[in-house]
Amino acid sequence: MFKKLLAPPGKKPRLSDAEVARKYPRYRTQVIISIFVGYMGYYFVRNTTSILSGILKMSATEIGIITCASYIAYGVSKFVSGLISDESNSKIFLPLGLLLSGIINIFIGVIPSVITSVWLFTIFYLINGWLQGMGWPPGARTLVYWFGNKERITYGTIWNLSHNFGGAIAPLLAGAGLALAGNDPLAQARVAYWFPGVVVCIMAVIIYFIQEDTPESVGLPPIEEYKSEEYRESDNAKLEEDAAGAATGLSGTFSYVGGATVATLVIGIIVDHLGWGVAFIVFGISGIAAIICTLLSRDKSLEYWEDDKK
């Protein structure tokens, strides 16, 4: 049943050239908005525990157990989901993970015993961590199918901004939940889980209606044909493929290590000494600086790539 639900749709009959010219840009806009908003939504329900550590009155060890369980599940799921996503319908895969993650957070908020039991909390966060791993693979798959080689880094950078926006908005969303709960710490903690959960469930429904799987699934030609790109296999194709894979893996590793450092350690130190206002400013500036550096490196990388192909 689950396999049938995620099965990719068949190819629709090719639209006329006039319809292709009219609809292709619209669909491309839809899917970049979809994966941006979708992955941003995953951050809203990813790690509320760290935000509420003081309110939950748990020890650092207990918070560490819960958070560690979530990230381990997230890491394993991201790999497994990547394999599954390659053969799945992104229109279903992306919002499904977000919807289920939202439901888990609603359960954490409405079932009283969850946030008072470390082990029950850990089980729910293990499940949530696994569902969180379903967010990135369909987004990356969407970029490959809808954007050409020469523009993929640019749109990938735009999509990567969802990390910054999601990480910045998540505490505000949890804070809005706290404001609804009055002065009872336990009630505050519960609302801070179910309120973002409800928000992302609504987002998941919206994303389902604007996300598409591949151009062929809506009657459009492949992106290579639309962009008049031709794949040329060089004599060192296997070596280049392995090098590209290694570079992608390393860049992802450094991106997450750097991102986690800024989002937790550095921001935490700034909050303790200078307050949240300065922390948000630093967070925003670091995101802007990262975008500029990425775009500059993109230009150099493409220039080197084109020279190498000549």
- Domains along the chain with CATH numbers: 23-149+159-223 (1.20.1250.20), 251-310 (no CATH)
pLDDT range class, residue 150, cuts 50, 70, 90 = confident
Q: Compute the distance between CA of residue 177 and CA of residue 46 in angstroms, rounded to an integer.
A: 15
pTM here is: 0.77
pLDDT range class, residue 123, cuts 50, 70, 90 = very high
User: Which range has the worst mean pLDDT, 128-132, 197-201, 245-249?
Assistant: 245-249
User: Which range has the worst mean pLDDT, 276-280, 290-294, 297-301?
Assistant: 297-301
Q: Of 222-231, 246-255, 273-282, give the range with the top mean pLDDT.
A: 222-231
Q: Compute the distance between CA of residue 77 and CA of residue 127 in angstroms, rounded to an integer.
A: 10
Residues in the chain: 310
Q: Which residues contact 3 (CB under 8 A, 6 or more apart)?
A: none
Q: What is the mean pLDDT of residues 179-198?
A: 84
- Tell which residue, 307, 292, 51, 50, has the closest CA to residue 171: 51
Cβ atoms 159, 101 nearer than 8 A: no
